[in-house]
C-alpha cells in the first residue's frame, strides 16, 4: 500500500493548544505522501461550511451553532449531531484528538462504518484542579461531564491510542487500551534567524540578556519567572524577561522595578514565535509538580530548542525524561526553590556566554515533526496489518 487515507477529527480550527499537535502531525503525514483530511469546526456561528488548504492539508470545516454560552462549541450537541451527518469518505484511519463531544460523537457513531482503524489521541489530562474547575452552573457541568466521560472511556473503545507522554501511556493501559503508542510533540525545521535581526523585528533590546516564556500555562509558573527576574535584576543590570501568548493580566500587581525589565509582546502569530525563540538567550519552561504537568509535553519545549535556544526546564514528566538526552537543557528540579537555584546558575552561565549550544541535528532525529510523523505512520500500518 503506497499511501493511506487518514481522517483527523478535531473540535475546532482555533490555533491554540492541541491544534499545533494535530495540525503538525497532519502536515508531517502529508509530506510523507499520505492523504490527510482534517474534519473540524469553526467556533464562529456566522462562518460558512467550507474547505481550506492549510500548509498543504485539506480541512473540511463546519460552523458552530449558536448557544455556546449554554454548551460551549466543543461540546455543543447540535455541533456533534451535524458532524455525525457529514458524508465522510471511506478511509483507512480515523484519528480523534481531544475528548470533546463535537468530534467524539461522529468518531464513535459515523466513522466505524467508514474507517478500518479508530485511533484516539490523548495529550492532556483533564481533571479537577487541572484543566477543569468544579462546575458552578449548567455550562460547567455539561462540559465537564462530557470531557471526563470521553477521556475515561475512549482509550478502551478505540482500536489504538496515541499519547504525548509515558504518563498518559501508562494511564491508557490502566484504562484497558488495546495498544498504546507514544507520539511526542516536536518542531518543523526552519532557517533560524539571526538573534539581533529577530530582536529588531520584535522591538526588543539589542544588548539585553533575555530570558523568555511563550505560550499558555495553567499554573502559577509565570509567577516563578517574574520572581526569579526580581531576584536578579540587581546582579545583572541588562537582564530582561520577554513574554508572549499571554493576557496582560499576568503583569498585574508586579512592582514598577520589575515591570521595567519586562517586554510584553501579547499574542504573536505562530510564524513570529520563531523570531521570539531565536531572540532569547534562554527559554523558560517552569512546571509545577502536578498530574497535569506530569501528563503533558508542551509544544514550546521543542520549539525553543529548534531556534538554537537552550532552555531552563523543570524536571517534570515527559520533559524530564527527554531532557536526559539534551545537554543544552538546564534541569531545574521539581519545585519552586530548585527552580530559583537553577535559574541563578543558568543566568550566570548566560552572562559569561557559557550556556551549552543546541545540536539541532541531534534534536531533529528525536523531535522533528517529520520523524514523529514517520513513527505515527508506522503505527498506522502496524494496526492495519492486524485487521
- Model confidence pLDDT, tens digit, residues 13-54: 999 889 999 999 999 999 999 999 999 999 999 999 999 999
Q: Which pLDDT belongs to residue 253?
A: 86
When the pLDDT of each residue in the chain is averaged and rounded to a whole number, the result is 95
Q: Which pLDDT belongs to residue 345?
A: 96
Tell me the pLDDT tens digit for each residue of 332-341. 999 999 999 9
Q: Which pLDDT belongs to residue 2?
A: 76
Q: Which pLDDT belongs to residue 215?
A: 84
Burial class (CB in 10 A: 0-12, 13-18, 19+), 314: buried
* DSSP string for 327-386: TTEEE--SSHHHHHHHHHHHHHHHHTT-SPPP-HHHHHHHHBHHHHHHHHHHHHHHHHHH
Tell me the pLDDT tens digit for each residue of 286-301. 999 999 999 999 999 9
Question: Which CATH number is 5-186+369-386's, of 3.20.20.120, 3.40.50.2000, 3.30.470.20, 3.30.1540.20?
Answer: 3.40.50.2000
220 pLDDT higher than 80 = no
- Stretch 254-274: mean pLDDT, rounded? 93
138 pLDDT higher than 90 = yes
Q: Which pLDDT belongs to residue 149?
A: 96
- Stretch 225-232: mean pLDDT, rounded? 95
Reference 244, options 281, 205, 284; nearest CA is 284
Q: What percent of the chain has pLDDT over 90?
A: 90
The SS3 call for residue 78 is helix
Q: Which pLDDT belongs to residue 320?
A: 96
pLDDT band at 212 (very low <50, low <70, confident <90, very high): very high
217 pLDDT higher than 80 = no
Ordered by start, the domain boundaries in the chain are: 5-186+369-386, 195-365
327 pLDDT higher than 80 = yes
Is residue 223 within a helix (H) or strand (E), and if so which, with residue range?
Answer: helix 221-232
Q: Which pLDDT belongs to residue 248?
A: 85
Higher pLDDT, 361 or 2: 361
- Partners of 132 in the β-ladder: 128
Q: Which pLDDT belongs to residue 189?
A: 87
User: What is the spatial distance between Cα 277 and Cα 298, in angstroms, rounded to a whole number?
Assistant: 14
- φ and ψ at residue 330, rounded to 5 degrees: -85, 115
All three cell numbers of 46: 456566522
Tell me the pLDDT tens digit for each residue of 58-115. 999 999 999 998 999 999 999 999 999 999 999 999 999 999 999 999 999 999 999 9
219 pLDDT higher than 70 = no
The domain covering 195-365 belongs, at the CATH homologous superfamily level, to Glycogen Phosphorylase B; (3.40.50.2000)
1 pLDDT higher than 60 = no
Q: What percent of the chain has pLDDT over 70?
A: 99
Q: Which pLDDT belongs to residue 54?
A: 97
Q: Which pLDDT belongs to residue 174?
A: 96
On the question of a common fold for 5-186+369-386 and 195-365, the answer reads yes
Amino acid at each position: 500500500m503506497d499511501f493511506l487515507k487518514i481522517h483527523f477529527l478535531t473540535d475546532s480550527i482555533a490555533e491554540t493548544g492541541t491544534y499545533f499537535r494535530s495540525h503538525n502531525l497532519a502536515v508531517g503525514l502529508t509530506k510523507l505522501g499520505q492523504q490527510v483530511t482534517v474534519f473540524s469546526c469553526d467556533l464562529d456561528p456566522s462562518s460558512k461550511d467550507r474547505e481550506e488548504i492549510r500548509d498543504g492539508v485539506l480541512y473540511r470545516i463546519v460552523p458552530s451553532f449558536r448557544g455556546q454560552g449554554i454548551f460551549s462549541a466543543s461540546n455543543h450537541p447540535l455541533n456533534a449531531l451535524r458532524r455525525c451527518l457529514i458524508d465522510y469518505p471511506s478511509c483507512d484511519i480515523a484519528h480523534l484528538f481531544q475528548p470533546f463531544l463535537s468530534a467524539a460523537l461522529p468518531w464513535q457513531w459515523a466513522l466505524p462504518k467508514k474507517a478500518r482503524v479508530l485511533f484516539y489521541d490523548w495529550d492532556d489530562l483533564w481533571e479537577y484542579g487541572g484543566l477543569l474547575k468544579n462546575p458552578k452552573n449548567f455550562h460547567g457541568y455539561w462540559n465537564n461531564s462530557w470531557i471526563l466521560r470521553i477521556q475515561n472511556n475512549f482509550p478502551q473503545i478505540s482500536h489504538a491510542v496515541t499519547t504525548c507522554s509515558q504518563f498518559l501511556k501508562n494511564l491508557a493501559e490502566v484504562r484497558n487500551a488495546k495498544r498504546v503508542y507514544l507520539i511526542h510533540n516536536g518542531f518543523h525545521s526552519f532557517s533560524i534567524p539571526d538573534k539581533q535581526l529577530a530582536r529588531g523585528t520584535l522591538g526588543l533590546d539589542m544588548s539585553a540578556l533575555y530570558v523568555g516564556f511563550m505560550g499558555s500555562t495553567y499554573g502559577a509558573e509565570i509567577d516563578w519567572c517574574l520572581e526569579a527576574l526580581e531576584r536578579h535584576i540587581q546582579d545583572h543590570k541588562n537582564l530582561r524577561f520577554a513574554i508572549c501568548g499571554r493576557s496582560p493580566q499576568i503583569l498585574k500587581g508586579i512592582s514598577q522595578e520589575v515591570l521595567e525589565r519586562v517586554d510584553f509582546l501579547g499574542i504573536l502569530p505562530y510564524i513570529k514565535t520563531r523570531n521570539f525563540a531565536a531572540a532569547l538567550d534562554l527559554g523558560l519552561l517552569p512546571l509545577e509538580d502536578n498530574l497535569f504537568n506530569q501528563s503533558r509535553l508542551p509544544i514550546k519545549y521543542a520549539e525553543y530548542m529548534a531556534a538554537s535556544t537552550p532552555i531552563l526546564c523543570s524536571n517534570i514528566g515527559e520533559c524530564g525524561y527527554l531532557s536526559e538526552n539534551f545537554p543544552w537543557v538546564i534541569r531545574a528540579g521539581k519545585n519552586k526553590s530548585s527552580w530559583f537555584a537553577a535559574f541563578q546558575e543558568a543566568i550566570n552561565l548566560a552572562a559569561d556566554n557559557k550556556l551549552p549550544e543546541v545540536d539541532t541535528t541531534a534534536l531533529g532525529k528525536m523531535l522533528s515533526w517529520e520523524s514523529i510523523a514517520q513513527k505515527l505512520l508506522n503505527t498506522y500500518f502496524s494496526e492495519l496489518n492486524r485487521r
